[in-house]
Structure 1
Amino acid sequence: MADSVAAFTVGLISHNQGNSSAHVAEVDEGLQAFWSSFLLLHLGGPDTITAFSLEDSSLWPRHLLSFVFQVYTAIYVFLRIFPNNKSLVIPTILVFLAGVIKIAERTLALYLSSFPRIRESTLLDKEIRMAVDSQLLEELNVLGYEHGSFDEESAKLDESIVVKHAYSFFQIFRVFIVDLIFTKQQREMSRKYFAKVSAMDALRVISVELDFIYEKLHTKALTIRHKWSYIFRIITCTSIAVALGEFNRLKKYQLLELDVKITHILLFGGIILDGIALLMLVFSDWTVAGVKHNTTGFSKLDSFLNKLVSTTDYLRKPRYATWEVEPNTNVSYKVIDTPLIFRRWSESISACNLFSEALRKNPRKICKCNQFRGIVVFKNICSFPFQMVGKIISCVYEAVRMVDRFCGKRSMIANAQYVSKNPFINKLWIFLFNKVKEKSRNADIPETVSQIVKASGNVFLPARLLTSNLSEISEHINKANFHIHIIRAHIATEIWYNIEICIGRNDEREFSKILSDYMLYLLLNQPNVMSAVATVGIAQKKSADTLRELRHLIVSDETKDLERICKKLYNRVGPRAGAVLGGINHSESALGKGFDMALRMEDLGKMKWNFLSGQWFGMLQYAAVNIKGEAHVQVLSKGGELLAFVWLLMAHFGCFYKPEWGMYYEFWDEWGKLLD
């Protein structure tokens, strides 16, 4: 955005240079210098900062050098122009001052948000080590959670209370961002809290907690909320307002009408943006948390602030919509449907599918929105330009692949081309929440917690499913074979999802399908995240080989009907078809192993979905707890991932284990002394 504004302004300057008459040249040069001061203002203006500062500790010094160079260049231009024309000196200096403050604030935010700086400040912050807010448990009892009997889908906590509790946990759990761990007291308090709340209230707390982490790392929250920042913001707003007044006082008969309009747009735009930023600051979660934590409620001011904060509870209260499962429209699910302006994350789950990739079409969405037809048509009209752009990109992508194939290059899936978004189903979260909650009951034993962190999905399978013919399937997961397990289970899940006739509601079937497509999406489209638990390069090669085999097998099918294709392929590798699939020994390929897994599950009947849902949950939790916090928070700027929610959920239930510290670390003071 800043680069676009800068390029636009430079273009205006160049255009003006080519069209100005000689008798107004000096005035136009002064106006160009006035415009150039907006470059600093817009380069430092946005309240977001690049996510690269999280992984590149040298970014902020480079940004600092760039800032110094820009300021020096602007001053040099001013000194060359203003000795001849002083009419715009005061407005230009005022806007230049605002720009310097903005870009200095941005540079400081980049420095404070770098991981070395965050890790250092976290280690040395005694408040984090000692923070144990037992008041949260007392508030839960007051709000009716004392007996633990409630509907998991209920959202009993007011939004302001959710923000307050999330802020308390954020102060404690930000240690996980830099791969540290909590104390024993913090762990126990968190476990008791999440054992009491409903699944949906837990989701709300974690979503706000992740939003605090996002704003700390990806925005200028660390700088704009400092007391000095408020003073500088007042100076910035005042400077732009005074600059507008001074410009209006000038005699503008020597200026082109277009130049005057552009200048007014820039000035009014700067004021409007600052006003919006001020409103966002006042009604942000940080302000709500500050009011709830620091006001006693006894004074009139405290009472007023609490009422002001409570007015946002109605606007931000949880909202849900009912979506129908396709093609079984008699089955529906409740999904999160927060208005876009109040949404803290994408509230969706990405889906990638090898069969859909082979057919060159987006994976079918699990649910469809049950809305009025007019709303659906309006949404389709609005999304039409984006669909056209997607089609163009798809054509270019295919052209590149054809060129690579013609040149003899071996294709690899660096990013899946066909990706869909599934809505976030309430019952899916409740399923994950209850799974973690069940395992956390035995989390008092270090060996159990260590097993949860290191073991595969077989830890979460019912004992009756671990039969002899499935023992090979539920093998131990490690980085060397994690991607193979995902691809194999993905193929088996897709086969059974399409060949089995579903009558009525089967939650585990739908959850298995959603998690299957999501884990494959992470493997192919989020390599930076998955590199800690999978060998991404080999995974991409295996996926490319599997995709090539699938396309070879379905090339003769003209209908492109996925159900028909899956039934046809399954029948070809059935007990009567032998060990060869399309001329390929399926015992040696990921595709063949997937079909083999599907064949072995035939004896399970309806219990196969219990088995698969347990497998997918096991792989999801394995990835969540073994991926470093740094990788989790880097993707928050892209809308957030379900994986990050499971990561924090596991942490809140105490399902974390580090060999050097165990389940927790009690003596941070001694650790800090060692660092000193």
Structure 2
Amino acid sequence: MRLSSSVEWWDESKLRVLVLSSLSLQYFLAVFAFGRRFSVPSWYRLLIWLSYLGSDALAIYALATLFNRRNNQQCNSAPGSRDIEVLWAPILLIHLGGQPFITAYNVEDNELWSRHIVTTISQVTVAVYVFWKSWSSSAEKSLLAAAVLLFILGSAKCVEKILAFKGASFNSLASHSEPAQSKRTTTRDREKELEEYVQQARDSIKASHPPLVDDSMEQLILPDKLFVDSAYPYSDRVTSLKFFFLLDDQTAYWSLKRGVSIVFNLLYTKYESTYTMLKGSMLCSICTWEITVVVSIVSISLFHYSHKNAYSRSDIVVSFVLLYGTFLLDIISTLTLLSMTGSVVKQTSDIVAQHSLIEFCVNSGICRFMKPCHSSQKPCHYSEDISSLIRRYVLRGWKEFITDAESYRKFNDVRGQWTLERKQCDERLGWSLERPFDESVLLWHIATDFCFHQKDTPRSNQCANRCREISNYMMHLLFVNPEMLMAGSRRNLFRTACDQLNEILACDAYSNKTELTQKLIDKLKSKEGSKETFIHDAWQLAEGLMDIHDETNMWEVIQGVWLEMLCFSASRCRGYLHAKSLGAGVEYLTFVWLLLAYAGMETLPERLQRTYMTRLSQEKKQQLENRGEETRKEPSSQNQAIEQVLKEEGNVADPASSEVIGLHSQEETVTAASASNDEGTAPVLDEIIVVVH
């Protein structure tokens, strides 16, 4: 008996529960979805994700329930209640239009905008069909007018959502970039443009100006093109660089937060139309807000003046809650939007994620199968200090290292070599930077911890603290986001090093990180179990660092190498990965990447599209011809002959040239053999020397 009464109550109240639950989810998203741009607990992000998916599913289920109720001839509700229930259909359509702060949960959602068109058409069609089939001819005209107005509002919101998806897709963002120049340019022309850019940038940096205030942030380039891997014109970059280095450290950091916040809004919210030139989306947003205010007020007024005596009290209460609740929801969203405009620099996280190999091993003694998505350390909150160090490092590079296009490219390719050369440590420590980048990061991470504990460095040492924070962040990237650290980075290096560490320690007991590190150092000093492992290589690196007698100088070396590695990693991460990370709480690497762009460094598209010169000068060609006979007789001396010619021209500057030389040797041998077999054949091109620019 009790079960049957419960089923009867659910059949009667199911639709009311569904529509009120749909409204509740919309309020939850409007209030809490804004926080997902920060570093929040995983359970918070899970709730946002479930609400984002469930809001559409719940509204569609409510529409289906409304459609099925029209066939129920034994409804226990008061006469005419079905008419007022049909008024809820356009309100559910408004809910399907979503909230302005969470149009997309993942960046991939924007790429499916064409699928959303089909989904939206089907949703609107179902809502209209339900309304048409369920509305009785005896219903009040005022309710009909209110329903029509709400249908207009719901349809406009659904169209606005589609435009937001389309406008934030990568193809749309790329298509709104400046049109490509049709002017034919040669490699020398582009090289000349780069030389001019470098000189203009150096001149603007050398010019002394007082620090500027917040207004100068408007002179910085909007970073939307960077996230689709598009390069900005040199003129815009010179202007941005000039103003960026005139800002004080705090304002410069705020400009980074502002840029990241703008792109987050562009990709994941309807707020993007404020910053882009997508006129359709902007016009739709303005019209939708005006329609919302007018239609909501008119609809509420029409419902107030309708004859509500024919309807059940429960349905009347639910209708008022839906009408006023939906109207208030739009007001809350509008006020939040206005408050965002004035506090855009406060909308991103200031934390730097941390992950330590040694501390992970300590924790894995308690929980062996620790999930890789969890950091073993609390994040630090010194992103502004680290950003200031990077800014000063780049500024020093412009003043002391970069003099022309070649040195400009070389500066963008260093990952610790410049610091070692300046500190005269390259002979002792340079080997650690010749390994694959992910291995170099691992070695320097472990060596940094060794130096900190072996030297008994006080925690008040700010330089040492920044070194460890950057070190732990780079290890976080290797373990959690290896694709952002560097293409091809191997996450299993972390686990391999951890297994090697446990093997060295054997069954020794330890209770904390300091004790583990000290036991490990003692075993490494005693050469116990000595063999080639990451741990032993890291200890060799740490010994080389500790041979620097001045501890302050040692930490300056470590800090310089970590800054170069951090910049090296950021500049080689695709814009798509930076955009994807914004939806998960913003990686600090994105701040570094944006800082390098503002500071005029080489972008990833420029690095990938470096041109190659394949033409030989007449003088060099003559030199090669004079030595051609000798090199044909002695093919083994081919490389030395060509290398000598190139050295005389001053063009052998990097390993890429040596690789090309080796290729020439093979091609020349084949050409000589072919000529000896068939002397009557036409002459062929003996050599093409490729010089990278």
1:596 to 509, 516, 540: 540
Whether 2:302 is the aligned partner of 1:246: answer yes
Report the Cα offset of residue 346 of structure 1: 0.6
Change (3 A) 1:638 1:52: closer
Report the Cα offset of residue 572 of structure 1: 0.3
Report the Cα offset of residue 350 of structure 1: 1.0
Say which SS state the counterpart of residue 527 (structure 2) adopts: coil
Query: Partner letter of residue 577 of structure 1?
Result: K
Q: Is the 8 A contact 1:20 1:28 kept in 2?
A: no
Change (3 A) 1:662 1:546: closer
Whether 2:233 is the aligned partner of 1:183: answer yes
> Who is 1:428 aligned against?
386
2:350 to 338, 347, 354: 347
Report the Cα offset of residue 541 of structure 1: 1.8
Of residues 59-68 and 449-458 in structure 1, the stretch that sits farther from structure 2 once superposed is 449-458
Change (3 A) 1:93 1:655: same
Query: Partner letter of residue 412 of structure 2?
Result: V
Q: TM-score, normalised by structure 1?
A: 0.69
Change (3 A) 1:58 1:473: closer
Q: Distance in 2 between matches of 1:509 and 1:197?
A: 27
> Who is 1:307 aligned against?
none
> Who is 1:457 aligned against?
416
Q: Is the 8 A contact 1:492 1:598 kept in 2?
A: yes
Gaps of 5+ in 1: 127-140, 151-155, 286-311, 317-340, 363-393, 403-412, 664-676
Deviations 1:348-397 (A, max 9, x none): 111122222223389xxxxxxxxxxxxxxxxxxxxxxxxxxxxxxx99xx
Query: Partner letter of residue 432 of structure 1?
Result: I
Q: Is the 8 A contact 1:28 1:255 kept in 2?
A: yes
Q: Is the 8 A contact 1:122 1:175 kept in 2?
A: yes
Max radius of gyration: which structure? 2
Report the Cα offset of residue 561 of structure 1: 1.1
> Who is 2:121 aligned against?
68
Q: Is the 8 A contact 2:416 2:561 kept in 1?
A: yes
Q: Distance in 2 between matches of 1:85 and 1:611?
A: 85
Change (3 A) 1:468 1:660: closer
Q: Distance in 1 between matches of 2:138 and 2:403?
A: 76
**Superposition map of 1:125-524 within 5 A:** 147-148=208-209, 157-158=213-214, 161=215, 165-171=216-222, 173-223=223-273, 226-253=282-309, 255-285=311-341, 343-360=346-363, 401=369, 415-416=373-374, 418=376, 420-424=378-382, 426-441=384-399, 442-461=401-420, 463-475=422-434, 481-503=436-458, 505-524=460-479
Say which SS state the counterpart of residue 354 (structure 2) adopts: strand
Change (3 A) 1:76 1:444: farther
Q: TM-score, normalised by structure 2?
A: 0.67
Q: Is the 8 A contact 2:412 2:602 kept in 1?
A: yes
Deviations 1:577-627 (A, max 9, x none): 2552xxxx3x1x333333332233231241332222122111110011111
Q: Is the 8 A contact 1:5 1:39 kept in 2?
A: no
1:24 to 74, 77, 81: 77
**Superposition map of 1:53-132 within 5 A:** 54-55=107-108, 58-83=111-136, 86-87=139-140, 88-124=143-179
Deviations 1:391-429 (A, max 9, x none): xxx99xx7xx59xxxxxxxxxx75345453211354333
Q: Distance in 1 between matches of 2:529 and 2:554?
A: 22
Q: Distance in 2 between matches of 1:513 and 1:612?
A: 9
Report the Cα offset of residue 450 of structure 1: 1.1
Whether 2:480 is the aligned partner of 1:525: answer yes
Q: Is the 8 A contact 2:104 2:269 kept in 1?
A: no
Deviations 1:499-523 (A, max 9, x none): 4323473222111111111111122
- How many residues align? The count is 523
Q: Is the 8 A contact 2:221 2:240 kept in 1?
A: no
**Superposition map of 1:3-18 within 5 A:** 3-6=53-56
Gaps of 5+ in 2: 1-50, 182-203, 275-280, 612-693
Report the Cα offset of residue 487 of structure 1: 1.6
Q: Percent identity?
A: 21
Report the Cα offset of residue 496 of structure 1: 2.7
> Who is 2:585 aligned against?
639
RMSD value, Cα: 3.6
Q: Distance in 2 between matches of 1:559 and 1:572?
A: 14
Q: Distance in 2 between matches of 1:416 and 1:546?
A: 18
Q: Is the 8 A contact 1:41 1:100 kept in 2?
A: yes
Say which SS state the counterpart of residue 101 (structure 2) adopts: coil
> Who is 2:673 aligned against?
none
Report the Cα offset of residue 93 of structure 1: 2.8
Whether 2:664 is the aligned partner of 1:608: answer no
Q: Is the 8 A contact 1:348 1:424 kept in 2?
A: yes
Report the Cα offset of residue 120 of structure 1: 1.4
Change (3 A) 1:467 1:60: closer
Change (3 A) 1:12 1:571: same
Say which SS state the counterpart of residue 347 (structure 1) adopts: coil
> Who is 2:92 aligned against?
39
Report the Cα offset of residue 6 of structure 1: 4.4
Q: Distance in 1 between matches of 2:463 and 2:129?
A: 67
Report the Cα offset of residue 569 of structure 1: 0.5
Change (3 A) 1:504 1:511: closer
Q: Is the 8 A contact 1:24 1:254 kept in 2?
A: no
Q: Is the 8 A contact 1:47 1:220 kept in 2?
A: yes
Deviations 1:284-304 (A, max 9, x none): 43xxxxxxxxxxxxxxxxxxx
Q: Distance in 2 between matches of 1:35 and 1:551?
A: 63
Q: Distance in 2 between matches of 1:486 and 1:243?
A: 62
